[in-house]
Amino acid sequence: MSPQTLLKELLVEPEASPFSSESFDKYVMTTYGRFNIALERGEGCRVWDTVGREYLDFVAGIATCTLGHAHPALIEAVTKQIKTLHHVSNLYYIPVQGELAKWLVDHSCADRAFFCNSGAEANEAAIKLARKYAHEKLNIGNPTIITAHASFHGRTLATITATGQPKYQKGFSPLVPGFHYVPYNDVAAIELAIAELDKDERQVAAIMMEALQGEGGVRPGDVAYFQRIREICDAKGILLILDEVQVGMGRSGKYWGYENLGIEPDIFTSAKGLGGGIPIGAMMCKSSCDVFEPGSHASTFGGNPFACAVALCVCQTLERENILENVQQRGEQLRDGLNKMAAQYPNLIADVRGWGLINGLELQTDIPLTSADLVKSAIAAGVLLVPAGPKVLRFVPPLIVTEAEVAQALAAVEKALASQSV
């Protein structure tokens, strides 16, 4: 049976399923283009839809379900905390928030942490901190933050402006001033940009980059590029901000993406995998640039007992079960399999790249096949994958994925490519 036939069988009409997409769309705003699957249950690296079909989950909530679904440690942490205290205001001390902050500081280059609810909020906090630092410490009246083309930093007005992709900004002008874009991994371009901005009296307060561009096509940062950025920042007093929302919390095979680059940022952000699927974000910084004070910034839900207890459980489980070793081994297995496919189908595949368990398979630009086409074929084979742009297929499974599960995902992709090659 062809993938197309399987896909047709998969797309169940609303009346044949206990779930109705028509009813859903009537009440929920259509801000997503959804695949016609309604998921209701998960365990480990697998999920089930409302009609009982099983899927291998290589999306993990888009690099979010660090420990997979229904992990025993998470179940215990959630149950214990919801029975104890789930939310209080940050007007009071929250002991588990302090424990989580200490773990993050002990396992990174940071000195302090601010907690919020998402990656966009964490990046917004980083932007605010950089601007306040520029005004108070650098005496810059019109601070500019340099970001990269093809970056992605969130969906708030400030973070879509920081995002160097016009498609996310369309329809939302006027955008927030104070951002300038440069090509990613291009040393000469960033040096030229800083010189030109200085001439225009748009002084650079910070450089904000992803250690690995996720939505921009799974593009790892170049070591020499980031080391040069660090040198420039040190020489000019500029802050270096790294967006670790997608690549942090062990996904790269190290706790933080910057560890793959041989540098330390002044500020970095985390979310997604930090809570293993429970919403929490964090902006972390070195004490040298912490100019926040009471009233500078806040978040009602940020760092509440429930979210912090779950995030602390994720952190401790990563460490206790040595999950980073699994990330490294399974990542090597995945890239090896994808590289073999690239050698077998050079007319279809242009590149394979990534770190740990965030990897991308880039399709040739001169063929009609898209990443969405491969996603649909994989769904028909019982594997969930996610695009990272029209030509890049992204692999971001839970960090507990097994050797057999990686092999299953590879087989599904290979089958889809084989059908296209024929």
DSSP string, 344-374: H-TTTEEEEEEETTEEEEEEPTTSS--HHHH
34 among annotated binding-site residues:
no
- Give CA angle at 385 (381, 390), nearest 5°: 115
131 among annotated binding-site residues:
no
243 among annotated binding-site residues:
yes
350 among annotated binding-site residues:
no
119 among annotated binding-site residues:
yes
325 with 108: CB under 8 angstroms?
no
* CA distances from residue 187 to 43, 72, 146, 228, 339 in whole angstroms, order as listed: 44, 46, 13, 7, 28
Annotate 184-226 with three-state secondary structure.
CCCHHHHHHHHHHHHHCCCCEEEEEEECEECCCCCEECCHHHH
- Residue among 66, 74, 97, 62 at smallest CA distance from 299: 97
Residues comprising the chain, all counted: 422
d(CA 286, CA 412): 44
CA atoms within 13 A on the CB side of 65: 20
d(CA 46, CA 56): 5
Backbone dihedral region of 81: left (phi > 0), alpha (psi from -120 to 50 degrees) or beta?
Answer: alpha
Task: Please give the torsion angle defined by the CA atoms of residues 70, 72, 76 and 82, in that order, rounded to the nearest 10 degrees.
Answer: 0
152 among annotated binding-site residues:
yes
d(CA 159, CA 124): 6
Bind-site residues for N(2)-acetyl-L-ornithine = 155, 299
Bind-site residues for pyridoxal 5'-phosphate = 119-120, 152, 243-246, 300
Bind-site residues = 119-120, 152, 155, 243-246, 299-300
